[in-house]
Amino acid sequence: MEDAKRDLLGEGSPISLKEIAQNFLVLGTTAFGGPPVHFGMFQERFVERQKWLSSSRYTELIAMANCLPGPSSTQVAFALGVLQQGVLGGLVSGFSFLLPGAILLTLLGFGASSLQDEVEDPKSTANAVAAACSAVGVALVFIAVTGLVKKQVEGAKKGMICFVAASILLVWQPAPQWLNPALILVGGAITAVLPVSDSSNGTSLPPGGRTGLPVAAAIFIFILYMVVASWTIYDNISDRGWLIPFLTAGMFVWGGGPVVLPMLMVSLCKETPGEAPWVSQNIFLMGIAIAEMMPGPVFNLSCFLGVQLALKSGMHWLVGTTLAWLGLVGPGVVLIFGAIPLWDKLRGLRVYQNALPGLNAAAVGLLVQTIFIVYAAMEKKSPWPAGSRAVALCSYAAVDIMKINVPAVVVVAGLAGFLWSVVPGML
């Protein structure tokens, strides 16, 4: 009973709740660039600098999150807190990471109408600043992913698993929702059958940290998820409101923002005879552009959209924003609390220990392909592609070689974007 209480409340952990909150509030205000960058920042801060957990254990968390629907970097943020301080630690770490960006996007949602023309105009200041900051994101993705490759992908077998997985994702576009977890499981199966040398030495994995909930509670979470998922499928057929698309995306979508956002756009921007769409495509696309400039997960776009939808439907803006946010983010967050204790049970099995290098290599492979995706997006959206390439290159040097803080680099890049828009002939 006392052990369960310590797991739930996090008593006696060397990392205090205050430290967890401080660390994740910093990340919540500086983590620009999407999940690959978030993972790299988590690795640098919690694995390399503060030694909260081993690199292998950290990559396990990435693999676990990629096997679940929902925002993977947010799920890892919650999991890091759980390992240190149980359920309460997970709530503190996760919401400290989420809230700064959510608050910013909620505030910006009120000014959406006045910002719309600015962001969409290729020659506007807002568009140029957004493009320059996106170039920093490309550099951060490259730094984060190559860092994980160097640490987790050693040897021919793991290299093959990693880069074949990345290649499949690059060729199979748009990727089906099941492909990410399938590639991770196949990678694990390969090394389970053909173990690599570092997984077959007869040693057990080190303790993985707290698990938060007992196994029975974890099983209950997954049963509850199946019940709610069944209701969501039924309700989605007949419900023409704007809340159910957020819950549907949060319940069923693997692959993060690149998959979730198109799904939401189809549901919320659909035009039917005699009925206006809940959200115009212009507003939705503007929200994506703004969300990409904000720290934290792109799932916080639900706050921006929630404001618009609540105001349009006559609901109080705070209620609508909260419901949209919880609908999109909530299912994946609840699942991570259930997954950690079940995943921890697997760690004691020899077959899992053999599979672990393959699971980790495939999880890194999912991130490798994002380098090409974010670069292609930068080239397509930038009003001055050559300038964006230069900003990305300089940002790489500043962050990875000169060790300049990311917020400072983002500010300088934003100033560069401003200059693009005011110097004649630049755009």
Please provide the DSSP assignment of 122-145 as one string: TTSHHHHHHHHHHHHHHHHHHHHH
pLDDT band at 378 (very low <50, low <70, confident <90, very high): confident
User: What six digits make up the tokens of 204?
Assistant: 């057990």
Lowest mean pLDDT among 214-218, 277-281, 287-291: 287-291
pLDDT, residue 12, reads 42
CB contact at 8 A, 196 and 155? yes
Which range is least confidently modeled, 2-16, 111-125, 369-383? 2-16
Question: Is residue 261's pLDDT more than 80?
Answer: no
Q: What is the pLDDT of residue 10?
A: 42
C-alpha separations of 47 from 50, 139, 151, 415 in Å: 6, 21, 11, 33
* CA distance linking residue 427 with residue 419, whole number of Å: 10
Region 395-415 average pLDDT:
85
Q: What pLDDT, on the 0 to 100 scale, is given for residue 6?
A: 41
Tens-digit pLDDT profile for residues 293-328: 778 888 898 998 998 888 888 889 899 999 999 999
- Position 237 scores a pLDDT of 55
**Chain position carrying tokens 């389970």:** 192
Q: Contact, 75 vs 68, CB < 8 A?
A: yes
Buried b (16+ CB within 10 A) or exposed e, 166-204: bebbeeeeebeeebbbbbbbbbbbbbbeebbeebeeeee
**Cβ distance 332 to 75 under 8 Å?**
yes
How confident is residue 9, by pLDDT bands cut at 50, 70 and 90?
A: very low
> Under the phi-then-psi rule, with left for phi > 0, alpha for psi from -120 to 50, and beta for the rest, what region is 203?
beta
Give the per-residue pLDDT at 8: 44
CA 64, CA 75: separation in Å to the nearest integer? 9
Alpha carbons 393 and 407: distance in angstroms, whole number: 16
Band the pLDDT of 424: cuts 50, 70, 90: low
8 A C-beta contact, residue 158 and residue 361: yes
Q: CA of 241: how far to CAs of 38, 95, 268, 309, in Å? A: 33, 27, 9, 10
- Give dist(CA 356, CA 201) in Å, integer: 13
pLDDT for residue 90: 95
What stretches of 31-111 show up as alpha helix (H) in DSSP? 35-42, 55-66, 72-110
> Rounded to whole angstroms, how far apart are CA atoms 285 and 265?
9
- Rounded to two decimals, the pTM is 0.71
- Cβ atoms of 137 and 34 within 8 Å: the answer is yes
**pLDDT grade, residue 289 (50/70/90)?**
low
| Mean pLDDT, range 109-134, rounded to an integer | 69
Q: Helices in 241-280 by DSSP H: which ranges? A: 244-252, 257-268
Which carries the bigger pLDDT value, residue 140 or residue 118?
140
Lowest mean pLDDT among 274-288, 331-345, 365-379: 274-288
Angle between helix 257-268 and 281-293 (nearest 10)? 160
CB atoms within 10 A of CB 320: 23
Across the range 217-238, mean pLDDT stands at: 79
- Between 205 and 169, name the one with better pLDDT: 169
> Can you tell me the mean pLDDT for 213-240?
79
Beta-bridge partner residues of 272: 275
Mean pLDDT of all residues in the chain?
81
Question: What tokens were used for 417?
Answer: 């974007």
Given pLDDT bands bounded at 50, 70 and 90, which one contains residue 187?
very high
